[in-house]
Structure 1
């Protein structure tokens, strides 16, 4: 089975920006394909929007602030093999892992604020949920 490379989840937060930088550096050092993915909460019936290398080179850029920010980091790292993806889902972690699995990504990268105790119980943790659900290695950046 062919692997598609690294998948970095981003929501535009400061902590996910750290994950974006880490993913871009890792992709460059390993010469891997890198995809940035953001989840729009809502109906899961909609198909993912994918901006592949061809669309990105043609100037067809995603309107999502978080994807544009990630794309800027990747461009600064001079990465050549990039994809930007917007998926819809009620559960961000499930949407991220599902996309990674369906598209054969072999490594997921995400940020986490490192919540513990009562805060984590009340707010939940997308990062922890990704780790629990993932079919592949997950790197959590703090």
Structure 2
């Protein structure tokens, strides 16, 4: 049974599709929905760690996604920022460590060589997560 839904977003159109679907699932099941932004960290070791997004960018991205989810009828919605070097392992680890029962995320329409070369966060999450994963297009 779905009781906690995690929905990663980066603010893209594909991610917005995931937020809309996650909100629909949350509304239908009464599940808690957490929208997260994985802020990729670069650097470190000998220099400072630099996050991809500035704090105000993360706040706006999450506020926009939360407002969208609530407009779709989800009532129990929270947000969070996860800072990590790679998105997929961070999403998987956070979901497992915090008892999420469902991950919903959007993905682009990558096919063939482009998908092979670029990889797919959604594909990695779907293949490695401990819980149900729904990929929205």
Quote the Cα distance in structure 1 between the aligned partners of 2:12 and 2:59. Answer: 13
2:70 to 69, 72, 75: 75
Quote the Cα distance in structure 1 between the aligned partners of 2:23 and 2:101. Answer: 15
Quote the Cα distance in structure 2 between the aligned partners of 1:11 and 1:118. Answer: 23
Q: 2:45 — aligned with what? A: none
Provide the aligned C-alpha RMSD in A.
2.3
1:101 and 2:96 correspond: yes
> Which ranges in structure 2 are unaligned for 5 or more consecutive residues?
43-56
Q: 2:134 — aligned with what? A: 139
Task: State the Cα distance separating 1:80 from its structure 2 match.
Answer: 2.5
Could you tell me the TM-score, scaled by structure 1's length? 0.80
1:5 and 2:4 correspond: yes
Q: 2:52 — aligned with what? A: none
1:127 to 122, 126, 131: 122
Quote the Cα distance in structure 2 between the aligned partners of 1:141 and 1:118. Answer: 21
Task: State the Cα distance separating 1:65 from its structure 2 match.
Answer: 2.8
Could you tell me the TM-score, scaled by structure 2's length? 0.83
Task: State the Cα distance separating 1:63 from its structure 2 match.
Answer: 4.7
Quote the Cα distance in structure 1 between the aligned partners of 2:72 and 2:28. Answer: 10
Task: State the Cα distance separating 1:64 from its structure 2 match.
Answer: 2.6
Bigger drift between 70-79 and 89-98 goes to 70-79
Quote the Cα distance in structure 2 between the aligned partners of 1:20 and 1:97. Answer: 17
Question: Runs of at least 4 residues of structure 1 off by over 4 A?
Answer: none
1:105 alignment partner, SS class: coil
Quote the Cα distance in structure 2 between the aligned partners of 1:36 and 1:102. Answer: 16
- Answer whether contact 1:4 1:104 (CA < 8 A) is retained: no
| Equivalence map 1:33-112=2 (5 Å) | 33-42=32-41, 63-112=58-107
Larger strand share, 1 or 2: 2
Q: Deviations over 1:24-63 (max 9, x none)?
A: 01100111110001100117xxxxxxxxxxxxxxxxxx95
